Amino acid sequence: MKEESVRQIIALVSDKLPEDKVMVLKNRLAEQADEKYDEIMCANLYNPTHILLFSIFLGGFGIDRFMIGDTGIGIGKLLLGWATCGIWPLIDIFISYKKAKEKNFNKLMMLL
């Protein structure tokens, strides 16, 4: 892929990926054909900031986990989050933010 295309993709998705994985993505993009550009640019990625906000305000109901596709954990949080006196939803604020970034990275790797 052209260097300019790689820079555009990295600029678009770097805030939605784990920091240590950006260089891995950049190297994989450089190896790809130019036809993958449109597919990657149109990829539907989770916004970690939105996931963080949902986790803070609605995390006790498991909404953050439902949004990133972890339905089982979302149901567990909805049903049992109160039993942990709010500790599970509090800890999960940080975990779901990182999980959204990891899922974005995995989704892009699957496209490549």
Amino acid 59: pLDDT: 86
Helix (H) / strand (E) element for 28: namely: helix 22-31
With 80 as the cut, is the pLDDT of residue 1 above it? Answer: no
Model confidence pLDDT, tens digit, residues 3-58 = 888 889 899 998 999 999 999 999 998 888 888 888 888 889 999 999 999 999 98
pLDDT digits 0-9 by tens, 76-85: 998 988 888 8
pLDDT value of position 86: 82
Q: First vs last Cα of the chain: how many Å apart?
A: 12
Tally of CB atoms within 10 A around 39? 11
Helix (H, G, I), strand (E, B) or coil at 32: coil
In 1-112, at which residue ranges do the beta strands (DSSP E only) sit?
Answer: none
